[in-house]
Structure 1
Amino acid sequence: MPFPFRRAAGAVATAAALALVPTPPAAAEDGPISLRGVHPTGATYAIEVPANWNGTVLAFSPGYGQGAGPQQRPAGLGGNTAAQNWLLEHGYALAGTRPYGDGWAVEETMRDSASTLAVLAEAAGTPEATLAWGSSMGGNIAAGLAERRPDLVDGALPYCASVAGPVAMLNQALDAAFAFKTLLAPGNTDIKLTRLSSAEEETRGNTAARTVLDAAQQTPAGRARIALAAAFAQVSPWSVTGTPEPAANDWAGQQAQQYAAFMPTVFSPRYPLEQRAGGSMSWNTGVDYRKLLKESGRTSQVQALYRQAGLDLDADLARLDRAPRVSADPEAVAYMERNFTPSGELDVPVLTLHERGDNFPTVTQARAYSDAVRRAGDGRMLRQAFVDRPGHCGYTGAEFVATALTLERRVRTGRWSDDAGARELGRLAERLAARDPDLGTAQFIRLTPDRFLRPHVPGGTR
């Protein structure tokens, strides 16, 4: 029996809505469909519809810096090869959009995703269920489609996603960069925190920051201050793929992992985002760094490293209190709120997926998102899954398929069943992998991330 699903108003389905469910798409009878093309905007798209299409399509958005450009780079389909193969073999259609714009191309991708789905509907018929999924920035887009386009998508699976939004993400990075420069490079004019004038200026500043960072890592005092700055960005103490997790009291081992992830986490690209937004969307006016440290989950580590170095932590925190602060440009903040900062208001279900040791974004972004959804009163619409490893977007096929099937079941039945928890997702992944070893194993865990230190929702304090 076809399932009732929401459209434009996001209204609860009723028996009358069953009459609006389309007939099975033509692809189920006419054979597979494979399309590649370019939208008038320059965005590229890819569409695969199997002959046995079950009516569900997963619509993919890519991560930061993956624009099509004038070379018309082809769009991807999401997940990984093993997951794509499984989904297509089991009747799921896949669609992907690669925006022409580069960098933080959220605005373009949200628009062009609708165009890709229109092409699919014309070629194969109207989907019964459309699930938006995406990696990193693309996961932010999937969350954006869930909030802004419940007429277009029926659910979203953001994975390794910046679901705290760009304002919160860049404020988090600013806090760490501010502490780093204040304590380790106060006179270095090459390291500029915001309002960058050119890509060359950003590159020069990042080169200078890397030099300071590497020198600081050679001394106990430098390592302690790196750990303090890393605490403000909530850089994971288990960051390097392929390495064992440092023990709970292995402060030096944890700091080494934070050092390895420091530059890409704290000095991630800022100039392209400021150009797009028309100014700086980051500020630390009014921030209490003593309070942030207490709430960071890293206090014991930082205190231990300061003691080992013979440094006065209170004195360094006082230096941060006295240092000149950074303000934001309201118009730039407003742009990043539109493109896209989640409000947490959901009309369709969302299932997020994060690695415990991810820093790009940090896993605490999942907590920021769940807190926003809860405050909006829509906690019933959200479930979150976590896997027990470091790294960014390195999921197995079993993890991709298990979460996709779980979200689809929620869309089709209208409720989360017991299979949305870590243990149940793990069991589902094991069953999938037993039948198709190419999917690999899964490492789902139960996790409540630390509170995100600088959350921001549209209209929040600036």
Structure 2
Amino acid sequence: MRTRVVVSLLGLALFAGAPPALADRNVPGDQPLPGYTVNNPPLAPEVVNGQPTRVLQGIHEHSAYIVEVPAKWNGKLAMWAHGYRGTGTVLTVDPPAYGLRTRVLNQGYAWAASSYYGNGYDVRAGVLATYDLAQHFGKLVAKPKQVLIAGVSMGGHVIGRSLEQFPGFYDGALPMCGVLGDHELFDFFLDYQLTAQALTKTRAYPIPADYLASVVPAMQQKLGTTTLVPGGPDTVTPQGAQFRTSVIDRSGGPRPGATPAFAYWKDFLFGLATPAADTAPLAFDPSRLATNLFTRYQPDKLNRTVQRVAPRDWRSRLTPSLTEIPKINGRPNVPVVSLHGLGDLFVPFSMEQAYRDDVARNGQSKWLVQRAIRTVDHCEFSPAEVGTAWDDLVTWTDRGRKPAGDTIGSPSADTFGCRFSDRAAYTGPGTRRLFSVCP
């Protein structure tokens, strides 16, 4: 539950707050942009094969960074792309998570991670800062002979766009719980509000100031979700059952864990809706590019009653440029191994289906392997799941041996997600016990 609380607090801040002043581009690159400060405390070196690593930290192009190199470096570099940081003004850096830092160092890889030069949902900052740091690594250490990139959540959006923004620069990628469906994430958040409103005969869009305090509790009462908890009695009303069906359909379709996932995330997703902030940069008001004009809903009768909403910012929605929330076209051109939780509704499983479709449309399915993990919380992976995926990516990039994956388009079988889920993690903390035991 601690992870859930942290994620919830970050999510509630998604559309709130004001950004620091970013207009002054005359600031020296070894300083953060105006309005930002850096928190990058010294990172203790690891010991690899009896020898300490070399850790380098600083600020480059307004972004804080950490670089770590083992004594016996294999000449290869792993970049780490962090997820959404909220709307605060402090820049921080994460080492690779899930035990990946230790794993890559022991395999001889160096790694590097950037804070990005700004917070908010700013994929452009992530794409540029990560690329700039990888280039800077060549000056700090040496030019790497191979560059892989891994990351989580918004970092998956950074990865998907990075492969297309700098084709040929990265040699392989490991996005996890990633926003690979780009704008469709914000369409899903919009859908959640509008379908609930339609089923409860509530008219509350644009989102009013009293939405969370007054409107949402009244809708929850009509839906029967007020006391709904994962694994508990099914308290939903007929309208609530239709709402759940719609949410499951829009988040990836019928699949194991979908019903308890709805109960787990039901309140959180309402909390992502706040009044519009059109004067803020796009990174601080992503909802303005969301739309449901072309959405087909289940149950079908919702298509006659759901309010249709056009993007408030068509230009940001349609531009091919590298914006704060850019498109991912589905042209990786290098090996990609992707992990995603089946019950994650903060970044829903449908993100994988959208990316699969984009990649297939461009004739690049040979470059994509996707794996479903039987978890409900956001980015809830075990070190074994991530480590296996990393090792398989390394084997693919080094030896051309494509690893196995799941068929993402058919998630309804009772055992879907079992193949790559860590069975040893089932009895531990977290949400895995919301799923039946895999055979």
In the superposition, the TM-score normalised over structure 1's length comes to: 0.66
Using the alignment, how far apart are the partners of 2:96 and 2:117 within structure 1? 18
* Partner residue, 2:191: 175
Change (3 A) 1:118 1:293: same
Cα offset for 1:229?
4.4
C-alpha deviations, 1:405-462, integer Å up to 9, x for none?
A: 211222222x233x4346xx999999xx9xxxxxxxx99x9xxxxxxxxxxxxxxxxx
Using the alignment, how far apart are the partners of 1:58 and 1:359 within structure 2? 28
Q: Report the 3-state secondary structure (helix = DSSP H, G, I; strand = E; otherwise coil) of the residue aligned with 2:388.
A: helix
* Partner residue, 2:289: 281
C-alpha deviations, 1:27-67, integer Å up to 9, x for none?
A: 99x973201212242x2111111112222222111111257
C-alpha deviations, 1:263-315, integer Å up to 9, x for none?
A: 434653675798333882122235443xx546xxxxxxxxxxxxxxxxxxx4x
Kindly provide the amino acid, as one letter, of the partner of residue 284 in structure 1.
Answer: N
* Partner residue, 2:67: 47
C-alpha deviations, 1:109-141, integer Å up to 9, x for none?
A: 111112211232222211122111110000110
| 1:60 aligned onto 2:69 | no
Cα offset for 1:335?
5.3
| 1:356 aligned onto 2:342 | yes
| 1:33 aligned onto 2:40 | no
Cα offset for 1:231?
3.8
Q: Report the 3-state secondary structure (helix = DSSP H, G, I; strand = E; otherwise coil) of the residue aligned with 1:357.
A: coil
| 1:89 aligned onto 2:103 | no
How many matched pairs? 353
Using the alignment, how far apart are the partners of 1:332 and 1:34 within structure 2? 39
Using the alignment, how far apart are the partners of 1:187 and 1:221 within structure 2? 19
* Partner residue, 1:372: 358
Gaps of 5+ in 2: 1-47, 225-235, 407-416, 425-431
| 1:158 aligned onto 2:170 | no
Superposition misfits of 4+ residues, deviation over 4 angstroms: 235-239, 269-274, 425-430
Using the alignment, how far apart are the partners of 1:70 and 1:284 within structure 2? 32
Higher helix share: 1
* Partner residue, 2:313: 329
Change (3 A) 1:144 1:37: same
CA contact (8 A) 1:33 1:124 kept: no
Match of 2:134 among 117, 127, 132: 117
* Partner residue, 1:262: 266
Kindly provide the amino acid, as one letter, of the partner of residue 268 in structure 1.
Answer: L
Using the alignment, how far apart are the partners of 1:35 and 1:110 within structure 2? 21
Using the alignment, how far apart are the partners of 1:235 and 1:426 within structure 2? 17
Using the alignment, how far apart are the partners of 1:426 and 1:230 within structure 2? 23
CA contact (8 A) 2:79 2:149 kept: yes
Change (3 A) 1:331 1:158: same
| 1:79 aligned onto 2:97 | yes
Cα offset for 1:172?
2.4
| 1:384 aligned onto 2:406 | no
Kindly provide the amino acid, as one letter, of the partner of residue 280 in structure 1.
Answer: R
Bigger shift: residues 30-39 or 116-125: 30-39
Cα offset for 1:389?
2.2
Q: Pairwise CA RMSD of aligned residues?
A: 3.7
CA contact (8 A) 2:61 2:117 kept: no
* Partner residue, 2:41: none
CA contact (8 A) 1:235 1:261 kept: no
Bigger shift: residues 372-381 or 277-286: 277-286
Change (3 A) 1:186 1:429: closer
Kindly provide the amino acid, as one letter, of the partner of residue 92 in structure 1.
Answer: Y
Q: How does 1:305-320 map to 2 (within 5 A)?
A: 314=301, 318-320=304-306
Bigger shift: residues 212-221 or 95-104: 212-221
Greater C-alpha radius of gyration: 1
Match of 1:343 among 305, 322, 329: 329
Kindly provide the amino acid, as one letter, of the partner of residue 288 in structure 2.
Answer: S
Cα offset for 1:317?
5.2
* Partner residue, 2:161: 144
Cα offset for 1:232?
5.2
Change (3 A) 1:120 1:286: closer
* Partner residue, 1:192: 206
Change (3 A) 1:371 1:429: closer
Using the alignment, how far apart are the partners of 2:191 and 2:281 within structure 1? 22
Using the alignment, how far apart are the partners of 2:137 and 2:381 within structure 1? 27
Using the alignment, how far apart are the partners of 2:83 and 2:278 within structure 1? 14
Change (3 A) 1:319 1:421: closer
Cα offset for 1:150?
2.6
Cα offset for 1:372?
0.6
